[in-house]
Each structure stands twice: as C-alpha cells, then as structure tokens.
Amino acid sequence: MAPRLGFLCWWGTEKDSQKGTPVVVTMEKPNFSVVEIDGPDAAFRPVEKSRGKNAKQVTWVLLLKANRAVGCITWLVTVLWALLGTIKKRLIYRQGVAIEDGKLGRGRLLFGVIRAFLVTSMAILAFEMLAYFRGWHYFQNPNLHIPQASDLQGLLHSLYVAWLTFRADYIAPLIQTLSKFCIVLFLIQSVDRMILCFGCLWIKCKRIEPKIQGDPFRLDDVEGAGHKYPMVLVQIPMCNEREVYEQSISAVCQIDWPRDRLLIQVLDDSDDENIQVLIKAEVAKWSQKGVNIIYHHRLIRTGYKAGNLKSAMSCDYVRDYEFVAIFDADFQPNPDFLKLTVPHFKDNPELGLVQARWSFVNKDENLLTRLQNINLCFHFEVEQQVNGVFLNFFGFNGTAGVWRIKALEESGGWLERTTVEDMDIAVRAHLNGWKFVFLNDVKVLCEVPESYEAYRKQQHRWHSGPMQLFRLCLPAIISSKIAAWKKANLILIFFLLRKLILPFYSFTLFCIILPLTMFVPEAELPLWVVCYVPVFMSLLNILPSPKSFPFIIPYLLFENTMSVTKFNAMVSGLFQLGSSYEWIVTKKAGRSSESDLLATAERDSKVMNQALIYRGASESELSELSHLKECEKVAAAPVKKVNKIYRKELALAFLLLLASLRSLLAAQGVHFYFLMFQGVTFLLVGLDLIGEQMS
C-alpha cells in the first residue's frame, strides 16, 4: 500500500471522517523504503506564542504603547490650551470682535450687575456649604433659634448667625412680598393662556373659519369677467436686503391676478448703491416680461418702514386702487394668495384687514430657530386665530396681509411715531370700528433669525414699540366711541397683560427671585411655581407645534432667560429711553423655497443667451451690463462672520446653575434635581447659541 502523506493533518484541515473514494497508487519497482512516521517532525511542529518573545521585544511593545498614550495626552492638552486661548482672547481681551463705539458701552451696566451678583453668589454659596458641613444649619427649624452669646464659638460662627438674623428679619420678608406679587401676575397670565387654548380648541371642534361665499371669480360672462377682480396694489418694502430681494420680487411677480388690475411697488430704502442697481435690474427684468411693476426710492429716508410706506401711499396713482397687500423682503407668497384673501372683502364693507399666517423655511436650521417656531406657531394658531374669531381684532403682523385702502386712510395712515407701525395702524383702525379676519390656512413663506444677535435685536424692537404705543394711544382709547368691553380688552389684556406684565414677572420671578433664594432659603419659591405650572404652560405653548415636544425644557429655560432682553426693551419703551427708537433691519440668510426653482431656470437661460444680448446691445447698454456685473460681484462677496461671546447670557446661565446647586441645602429631593437639570440644560442652550456665532 502506498504511503499517506499527512500534509492536511499538519495544517489542521483534515477531518476525522473522510469523504469520497480512496485512491491507491502502486509502483512496480520502487527504489525507496517506506518508514512509518507517527507524527510531524520537530521542525514542523507549531511554535507556541509564548515562546520566541524575549525581553527586548516586550520592551519595544511597551514603549510603542507608551508613545501612543503620550501622543493622546499631548493632543488633549493642545486642544484644551487652544480653547483656553480662544476664550481668553475673545472673552477677556475681546480680540477679533468688531463692535461699534456706540454699542460697546451699551449693556455694560446690566452685565456689571449680573457679574457682581454672580461673584457674590459664589462667595455666599461657599460660605453656606462650609456652614452646612460644619453643622451650622439652623434654618432647618422653621422657628429660628438664636443661641446665647456664651454658646457662640468662633468669629466665623458669630458672623454666620448674624447673617441668618439679618436675612430672616430684613431680606426674606421683602423677597417674599415681591414673589407673592409676581406669583399672582404669573397665575393671571396663565389663566389668560388657558382661555386662549380653550378658545382654539372650540374653534377646532366646531370647525369655525372664515369662508368665502360662492365663487367670486366664476367666469360666467367672459367679456365682463375682468371686472370681478378689484384693483390691488402690492408693496414690497426693503432696506439693504441683498440676500432676499430677488426671490421676494420673483414670488410676488408670479401672483395669479390680471396684470391690468395689479401694480407692484418695490419700495427700496437701501443706502448701498450696488444693492440699488441690483434691485433696479430685477425690476426692469420683470417689467420687460409684462409685469406691472415700478421701482420707488426715497431721497430722504426718515421714519424707517412707516415712512417708506407713507411715501408710497402718497403717489397719485394709488387712488385708483382699492386694496393694498404688503410683503416684507423675505416673504414669498404663493401664486393664489390674492385669490384666497381678497374675496373676503366682498359684501363685507366693515372688513378692513385680512391677515395670513407665516410659515418658516428655516425653522429646523438650529436650536434657536426651533425655539422661535414654538413661540410663533402659538402666536398665529392660538392668539391671532382666537382674537380674530371672537373679537374681530388682533395686532397686524406688518406683512402678509391685505388692507382696504379706505380703512388706512380713515385711520390716519402710516405714522412714524413708534417702531411698531403695524400695531399702531391696527389699534387706530380698531378704534374706528374696522374689523379684522385671520386666515390660519393661508400661509406665506418667510425666515426667522438664525443668529442670536439678530433675534435679540428683533425682540428688543417688538417689546419696546408696544410700550411706546401704549403711552401714545391711551388717551385715544379712553375717549373713543367703541364699547367699554373693547376698551378694557385693549388696555388690560392687549397692552398691560401681554405686553407689560409678561416680561415683568418673567424677569423678576425667574431671573431675580429664583437666584436670590439660593442664599435666602426663607424666601424659597413653592415647587409648583418653579416646576409644575411653568412646565404645564410650556406644554400648552408647544401644542400648536407637536414636533417640538423634545425641546420643552430648553424652551422653558430660554424664554425665562430672554425675559432679560424683553424686560429691558419694555422699560426703555415705557420711559422713552434712547434705545426704544432704535430700528435695525433683521439680518436674513436668503433661504430658498420651491418658487426659487423658476428663478434658477431663468438665470440659466440668461447665461445661455448672454452672447446674443451682447451682439445686439449698444455701447451704453454694454456699459450698463458691465456695471451690473460688477455690482453682482460686490454683492456676492462673502461677508466675514463676527464671533461674539454674549457675556451677560453666559453669566446668567452660571447664575441659574448656582441657584440649582444652592437648592441642595434647602430641599434635598425632586426640587433639587429639577433645578439642577434646569441649570445644566440652560447652560447647554447658551453654549449652543454661542456656538452658532463661532461656527
């Protein structure tokens, strides 16, 4: 029998059970001898892994691992050092932060107060912790026991007992009185929110909505069909709107309405000549396509947006039009906007305004836009809709609305006395007996501010203007001929409760009293004030936008912190401080919508036909085209972002975090954990907003 060569056994691939038919090879005259081998030779035996490693190899392996560990530590140290260096430059030395001289000193007083409060709170918190761990926690007993002088040991102990006496006799009663007053205001405002929510629920259940009777544009008579369309004037006020002017003009020019009964006014208040040239070219482009559009520019730019609208309404040709629709530069109405809004005026001579709802193209851009979307959805879905159905009055939002020109003229027209010209004209029209309609189903695309700086300036204008208007309109409201309950609604609810009380109690209760309680436990707020009621009200605010439920805690904390800006704006408007008349155009990002696809196609066709244009153009036209291209290059140049550290907000975040830590000494339970989570979450929100500026 021929020998079997066991190579498969050597490599461990032979199995115990053989498969197939064995093959036997025989040789007639073999010239070799057969030797039976029991196992593989020693040279072919597998070498154990433990063998063959000497001390030198082990040393090299350890050195390699140590090198990797040192490299990782070095990288972490480098990153930490770079981060500390950046914080030092921007937070301490303010390098790389370009701020105007007039704005550099603005807000220093508030920041100084918060910083002093923060340092004092840290010192008192350390003192409190020392006293707590040393067993000096006398405040656990409701009846404060002051030991005798003979029982006192040590100067530190004496100072601590003196502090307990002073805060229990003088500080705590004042804080308790103020907190009770704010809690009453808080409950009143909460009841108002609940009533609005119940009204919205009633509207949804009963399916109450403004309806158009019949089909006002039915073409029964082809020859006289055009007379069913009233004359409509569309105004687009803008000021240095380089990012959004093109898409706004394009969307308005595509509105479905007879061209002979529609006029579009582009009210350009830009002081940049390059932007003026671009807007003029856009207007000329649509004018060549047959759109009835004109360009209007003021030489004397006074009164901001109100002055711009007032100047446009003074033109002679405006008297031929019956209605006027207003769109800000970042708004993009759908083609059927006028067909969904203007018919509501038919057979309703008392109707002066039809307001549409806003819809946001960048609501999911970052955390700030998501939080704004929560507030604005509640404003339109609940406040505007309920007031429109039950009161026929609400504040005009300044854009995405259609006015009856007669109502504007009888109410005094646009006035330049405040920064909220939209609310001003709405209040005066209401005093003259005009009614308003809000269409929740008609939505117009627009943008919300994506940076914290733009959002803060916008909120300052929105909260200082109503207080200016309240001071100016109060005598007119009292002496008006409307019903008494309408006067009470305007004064007590529209102005005082929603414009004055809301920022006052939010700032006082959650940004002053809550941090004070961390070293004055006698004035500790009830758990339902700090936790249950705010969470419940936040849930009500988020109901119109259910996808925002994961952001309920950041929304609650962010709103409480933004009350600092809102309270400051409210005070400046109420007492006519200098910043109350400040108007800064909200910066836009120029987010695209579906209607921008047409504009993109037009730009492509324009590039393809550029050679034909040059061939048939004269020298003057060629010079204009070259100037336009230069302006487009200047306008398209990227603007370098300015990194800013908002020190007031960051200091306030740490202050609320300290308030959460202090609650451990007062209530070691659910209250502490909620406030700890509150402080940490708000700190993360603040860092996220700062990261948006540094990205």
Residue with tokens 């656990």: 140
DSSP-derived secondary structure letter, 332: B
Tokens standing for residue 30: 């073999």
What type of residue sits at position 242? R
Distance CA(385)–CA(436), nearest Å, equals 11
Distance CA(335)–CA(333), nearest Å, equals 7
Inter-residue contact 661 to 518 (CB < 8 Å)? yes
Task: Indicate the SS3 state at residue 435.
Answer: strand
Distance CA(271)–CA(240), nearest Å, equals 7
Inter-residue contact 337 to 255 (CB < 8 Å)? yes
Catalytic residue IDs: 269, 422
Closest to 408 measured CA to CA, from 324, 510, 296, 514: 324
- With vertex at residue 410, the alpha carbon angle to CA 438 and CA 339, rounded to the nearest 5 degrees, is 35
Q: Within 42-154, where are the H helices?
A: 55-87, 101-104, 108-133
Cα-atom radius of gyration of the chain, to the nearest Å?
37
Distance CA(639)–CA(411), nearest Å, equals 42
Tokens standing for residue 37: 């081998």
- The phi and psi torsions of 498 (rounded to 5 degrees) equal -90, -20
Inter-residue contact 322 to 233 (CB < 8 Å)? no
CB 473: neighbour CB atoms within 10 A?
Answer: 22
Output the CA–CA distances (angstroms, integers) from residue 666 to 81, 574, 657, 675, in the order listed. Answer: 38, 38, 15, 12
* Chain-centre distance for alpha carbon 118: 27
